[in-house]
Amino acid sequence: MGFEEVHNVVFCRNGKCRKVFRWDGQTEGGDLSEETVLPCGHRISEILFAGSCIRDGRQAINMLEYLDRNELIKPQAYDLIKKKGGRFDDGLNFTVPGEDLTEDERERLS
Ligand SMILES: [Zn+2]
């Protein structure tokens, strides 16, 4: 068989590792619990039980690229994202800031 449906996908918790694995349902190598150590040596940060979540994530990236390409993101947003510890270069190269804008920062944006 050339194709296999994807489900039970887990993301590594280590932000620098970025590995993604699919769990095969066999508990010998670990299960979908917090204690499980992945083949990369790190623990699980997030579980996607349905492969459709990957499709939804891709759609979200496509939307970000669309907004950026069509200049629908306010120009000041890029600096504010950076100021909050994130970055947005394009729809595939970004880091989500750890905190939201303050009320003052939001008002200055509009
Ligand atoms: Zn890892």
Predicted confidence (pLDDT) per residue in 41-77, tens digit:
999 999 999 999 999 999 999 999 999 999 999 999 9
Percentage of the residues of the chain whose pLDDT score is greater than 90: 80
- 1 domain residue, yes or no: no
| CA of 21 relative to ligand 1 center, distance in Å | 10
Same domain, 105 and 73: yes
User: How far is the C-alpha of 20 from the C-alpha of 104, rounded, in Å?
Assistant: 38
- 86 domain residue, yes or no: yes
| CA of 37 relative to ligand 1 center, distance in Å | 9
DSSP 67-87: HHHTT-S-THHHHHHHHTT-E
Residue range(s) defining the domain that contains residue 27: 7-50
Give residue 1's pLDDT: 76
Give residue 108's pLDDT: 84
- 22 domain residue, yes or no: yes
Asked if the model's pLDDT at residue 5 lies above 90, the reply is yes
Mean pLDDT of the chain: 92
| CA of 15 relative to ligand 1 center, distance in Å | 8
Domain count, the chain: 2
Same domain, 44 and 58: no
pLDDT level of residue 12 (50, 70, 90 thresholds):
very high
| CA of 26 relative to ligand 1 center, distance in Å | 20
Pairing of strands 93-95, 7-12: unpaired
Asked if the model's pLDDT at residue 13 lies above 90, the reply is yes
- 16 domain residue, yes or no: yes
Same domain, 91 and 65: yes
